[in-house]
Structure formats: structure tokens, C-alpha cells
Amino acid sequence: MRPSSAELPVLGSGVIRERADAARNRLRILAAAERLFRTHGVAGVTMDDVAAQAGVGKGTLYRRFGDKGGLAVALLDQRERELQQRMLSGPPPLGPGAPAADRLGAFVRAYLDLVEAQLDLVLLSETSTPGARLRTGAHAFWRQHCRYLLAESDATDPELRADVLLAGLAAEQVRYWLRDEQRDLDVLARALCAAALSLLR
Amino acid sequence: MRPSSAELPVLGSGVIRERADAARNRLRILAAAERLFRTHGVAGVTMDDVAAQAGVGKGTLYRRFGDKGGLAVALLDQRERELQQRMLSGPPPLGPGAPAADRLGAFVRAYLDLVEAQLDLVLLSETSTPGARLRTGAHAFWRQHCRYLLAESDATDPELRADVLLAGLAAEQVRYWLRDEQRDLDVLARALCAAALSLLR
DNA sequence: TGACGAAGCGGACTGCGGTCCGTTAACCTT
DNA sequence: AAGGTTAACGGACCGCAGTCCGCTTCGTCA
């Protein structure tokens, strides 16, 4: 889909290596975007701004990241990978070893924290285009994990219920709870965990 | 928020009546939009197209409907009101008289049908701007209804669970299930009803 | 090391959503 | 019925996301 550092060709395989200027520009763009987003807020930065700040043409920006959402995806990549690692091989209850229900609760909590910490960026990555949320590589990962845990607990229709759960964790919805309804993050997390557990039956 | 025919000033109260040219233009615009959306698809129609086809300036379009999503909301208004009437005073299990759990299932089914029948329009109304979905008057209605039914069944945290349920019924998600995953509407409806019932406990 | 092919670059350009503000005409008042 | 008030109109205008295509530079291979 969208090229990000995660999906770039890897040295040694049959795939061609990333060209030097391309690599340099990719880093420049990411650095510039992060700086601008931090100081002006995600909404206050245009793609022209990013290109100019990175000292790069707009075409380069789009060739690399596809669209504004793709840029957000790339910026989120690092944090998401960390969480994914913890889920795959970290300590329980998030990592393997705990009962599926506990792991699901731990995931909801950890994912919610990640979304909250990067709300604007996640929102951008999920809403830049209708349906974007469901098309990122990261989303496929979260879904796969939830499906597995739901199936493990003999939930009916784990695929669909994983999607329902993740729909409830969409940035748009989380932002509404947190900002518009002023819900406390911890209380919200507990309530969502309980709802997730309900979906197990 | 967004002015729609539903919120227009009503004759007789202290509020000022809609001017004659305004009423004429409103109808022209809605007719033009419906015609264009039907023949060219929602995505293939620009606001300039609508204005031109309606024989009206663009400013008029925006003054009346706020943005493209507002136009979609207005077009959906009729169908949504019908469903709302059935929920408030139609026959059970959708209307009053049946157990809350049955009414919830009936709502999920009926709402899903409405979304499916007008997928592109609902999608537009929910995604024209991030968070639009949660801000329409209709959404407040669906939410209120679900909250009530959940509370009636002694569900924990009915407010939050209503939001989770409705997030799962968002047009973006429904389109994904129907179009990308090719799920059968009936099967999907049954699975979602089951998930909704799980949220009751 | 020179030269060739292709990946990558960059910025002018396009199209569309949304705004602004000078003009028009509906409705009220007397 | 004439005049004044003001809501409503309309289309030129703006900003930004995203595209296109002629030019540049990288990496390779002889």
C-alpha cells in the first residue's frame, strides 16, 4: 500500500536497495515533519510546509509517502513497532503466557495509551481518506492479534468482533471520549476493557 | 450545527419564517444533488456541479448546508426520520413493547439496512470532516436509543457501550465488511446482533 | 572512467472544497 | 405603494492536497 520505512526493500534479498539520495530525503522529510507537527500542531502544517522545511520538492514527498496520512503512518511506525514487539514477545499479560482474556485487556489498555499519546497523528493516519484506518499494515496486526485472542477464548465470530472492538478504539472515537466528553483516561480504559471482555462471550 | 430542513424555523413560534427565495433554492439544491448523485455517484459530483445544476451560486449552497457532508445529512434526513418514527412508535420489536434485548437487535438490523441502502451518502456524511459522524443530530438519536436499551438491560456503562456499538456500525466499517470482505448482509446483521447482545452483559 | 538506463527529483499546475463581500430582492412598516 | 432593513444571493477568489512530466543524479557495467 503506502511505502513506509517498514516496507522498504531490504538489503541482500532479490529486491533493489534504496538509493542514497532517496534515503537522505526520507530522513529529512521525517525530521522536518516531526519538527513542524510538534511546533505548529498537525492541523497547522501543510504538505508544502513539510517539503519546504525538508528542502525537498513536493513530488518527492508524495512519491515517498503517498499522501498526508502516509506521512503520519510513517511517523507512527516506531511507536507502533515497539508495542507490537511487546505483544509478541514481551512479558505477560500483554505478551504471551497470560490467559487470553487478560491479554485482551492489556492490549486495549496499551493501545489506548498509544492512541492518546499521539492522538492527532493517529487521527490523521485514520481519516486522511475514508477507509484509511482499515488499510494500514499496523491495523492488520492489531486485528490479527485480537482475532487470535478472541478465537482462543471461543468467542463467536472472532473476526467480526475484533473489528467491532477496534472500531471502538478508532482515534475519532477516542478523541471524542477524551476531549469532548472529558472522560478520564484510566476510567475509560477500564470501561473499554470490560466491554472487550463482554465481547468474548 | 448544520442547518437542515429538520432544524429550520417553524411557522408561528417566535422564530422568523424562512424566506420564499430561500425555500425555493433549498428544494432546487436538494433535487439537483439527488439527481447528480444518482447518475454520477456521490464521489463523481463536485459542489460546483450541484450549484450549477441547481441554478444557484456556490455561496448559497454553503450558506444552507455548511459543507458537503451537510448536504448528505439533509438528503438522508427523510429516511432517518422514518426509522426514528418506527423506533419511537412503530410495532415491536423495533418499537416499544418488546424486551430491550430484542429491541436492540431489531435496531441493529434496521440501522444496518439503512446504512447499506445509502452507503455512499452515509459515508460522506460521516467522513466529510473528522468527527462528523459523532456530531449529527441523527447520531445523537441513535445513541440515546441504544443507551436507553442498554440501561434497561442493566448493562454496565451503557453510555460507552452504546458508542462502541455505533462505532461498529459506522459506514466506513460497514462498507469494509460488505464490499471488501464481501460479507453477506444477512449473515453480517445476525453476527452484529449477537455482538450487540454480548455488550448487554 | 565514461556513458547509459532508470530511479528519483522538483516545482509548476490542476481541481476542488470552502470563504468573502459587494449586490439583489424579499418582507415589513407606515 | 414607496422606502428601508436585512437576509439571502452569487461568483470571483483562496489555500491546500495531490498530479504530471521534463530534468537530474545515482548506481552499474563495460
Mean pLDDT by 10 residues, chain B (201 residues): 37 66 96 98 98 97 97 97 98 97 98 98 98 97 98 97 98 98 98 97 85
Q: What is the pLDDT of residue A15?
A: 61
Largest CA distance in chain B: 54
Residue B96 backbone dihedrals phi, psi, to 5 degrees: -65, 150
pLDDT for residue B3: 38
pTM for the whole thing?
0.92
Element (H, E) at A24: helix A20-40
A vs B: CB pairs below 8 A? 86
CA A21, C1' C2: Å apart? 22
Place of cell 503520519: A72
Q: What distance in Å separates the CA atoms of residue A195 and residue A154, rounded to the nearest whole number?
A: 16
The CA angle A181-A182-A186, to the nearest 5 degrees, is 120
> Which residue in chain B has the smallest CA separation from A200?
B198
Q: Residues in chain A, how many?
A: 201
* Residue A84 forms contact with B (CB below 8 Å): no
Query: Cβ–Cβ contacts within 10 Å for residue B167, how many?
Result: 23
Half-sphere exposure (Cβ direction) of B106: Cα atoms closer than 13 Å: 21
Q: Which residues of B touch A200 (CB under 8 A)?
A: 198
pLDDT at site B7: 39
User: Is B2 an 8 Å CB contact of chain A?
Assistant: no
Q: Residue written as cell 472472532?
A: A158
